[in-house]
Amino acid sequence: MKVLVTGCAGRVGSFVARQLLASGHQVRGFDLRSAGVEDAAFEQVVGAFDDRETASRACEGVDAVLHLGAFMSWLPADRDKLFRANVEGTRIVLEAAADAKVGRFVFASSGEVYPENKPEFQPITEDHPTKPRSAYGMTKLIGEGLVKFQGRVSPIETVILRFSHTQNASELLDPDSFFSGPRFFLRPKVKQQEAFGNRAAADLLRAADPGQPALVLTRNENGRPFRMHITDTRDMATGVLIALTHPKAAGGVFNLGATDPVDFADVLPVMAEKTGLPLVTVDLPGAGVWYHTSNQRMRETLGFEPEWPIMRMLDEAVEAWKRRQV
């Protein structure tokens, strides 16, 4: 099979591309950045998804498209770039794929389409109403609409995967990493909340600073610890590869992620013990993050079985953290 992997320089795309190559497939990558893959069966188109000529070149002659690339930002200043990359980009890649008579198009959507941070019921299934509350989530929902439209008006098979939050295990204890840094480390979280303009949260977090780098257990205003899914990139790649070929995936919408959510009150003490960093607890204004998303449809219909629960990821995260200390 010849497969186009968009976002091939990213977290999930780069791992999926390597998995496909290891299984003997031909892979074409499409990303703004070079994926740096050295393999005779790999070629890359460098450019933006919303550039029609580049998207056509990327889709020419491939059997399937895994559209895993997207721009992720929650900053108001990034809004135009977000819609260009995720809405116009998805429309143009889809049209190029249909013109090139690609067999299947798999789209990486997000749990932010529900949105997971403000669910109407739990566990969140694919039947939960979609009412995004972030511009990013909105771009993903419009993306889903574009994918469904293309599936109706052309013979292309489409699969929508609503991705869980996803991390490489090595990112979990990296204070400089984009997601895990401000999620688990106090000072990066202060900076993030300042950037979002959440002054009350930033002040509460700053007041808890013990005078040295520290981990932070975030809870809501009533003291309920945050709870969310954190899925290993390797499990996401497994799900994406199932969606690429499984006959029952065609036309479907599936939540893709770890089976159990991560309770921050369980993992932060383990992180503190393994790293020796102090742990502070901060109750932030508002309802906080507290969700559980069901992957039952993906498991029962397509046989998906995640293999990297958080504690297994943490073992690797601790090793990576130790390597960074020397």
Residues that bind ligand NAD (CB under 6 A): 7, 9-13, 31-33, 48-49, 68-72, 85, 89, 108, 110, 163, 165-166
Q: CB-wise, 89 or 288, nearer to ligand NAD?
A: 89
Report whether 103 contacts 120 (CB < 8 A): no
Residues 118, 124, 126: CA angle, nearest 5 degrees: 120
Helix 186-195 to helix 199-207 angle (10° resolution) is 160
Q: CB-wise, 132 or 280, nearer to ligand NAD?
A: 132
* CB 322 to ligand NAD: min, Å: 24
Among 10, 11, 9, 23, smallest CA distance to 244 is for 23
Six token digits for residue 303: 């046989």
Q: CB-wise, 136 or 321, nearer to ligand NAD?
A: 136
The conformation of residue 170, written as its DSSP 8-state character, comes to: G
Output the residue with the shortest Cβ distance to ligand NAD. Answer: 10
* CB 63 to ligand NAD: min, Å: 21
Q: CB-wise, 71 or 254, nearer to ligand NAD?
A: 71
* CB 107 to ligand NAD: min, Å: 8
For 172, the 3-state DSSP assignment is coil
For 1, the 3-state DSSP assignment is coil
* CB 228 to ligand NAD: min, Å: 10
CA dihedral 241, 242, 244, 250 (to 10 degrees): -160
Amino acid at 187: R
Distance CA 128, CA 143 (A): 18
Helix 89-99 to helix 135-153 angle (10° resolution) is 20
* CB 35 to ligand NAD: min, Å: 8
Q: CB-wise, 181 or 277, nearer to ligand NAD?
A: 181
Is 324 exposed, middle or buried, given 0-12, 13-18 or 19+ CB atoms closer than 10 A? Answer: exposed
Whether the upstream peptide bond of residue 123 has omega within 30° of 0, thus cis, is yes
* CB 285 to ligand NAD: min, Å: 24
Q: CB-wise, 277 or 317, nearer to ligand NAD?
A: 317
Q: CB-wise, 163 or 254, nearer to ligand NAD?
A: 163
Q: CB-wise, 108 or 190, nearer to ligand NAD?
A: 108
Residue 255: count of CB within 10 angstroms of its CB: 27
* CB 203 to ligand NAD: min, Å: 27
* CB 263 to ligand NAD: min, Å: 18
How many CA within 13 A on the CB side of residue 71?
A: 23
Distance CA 265, CA 219 (A): 9
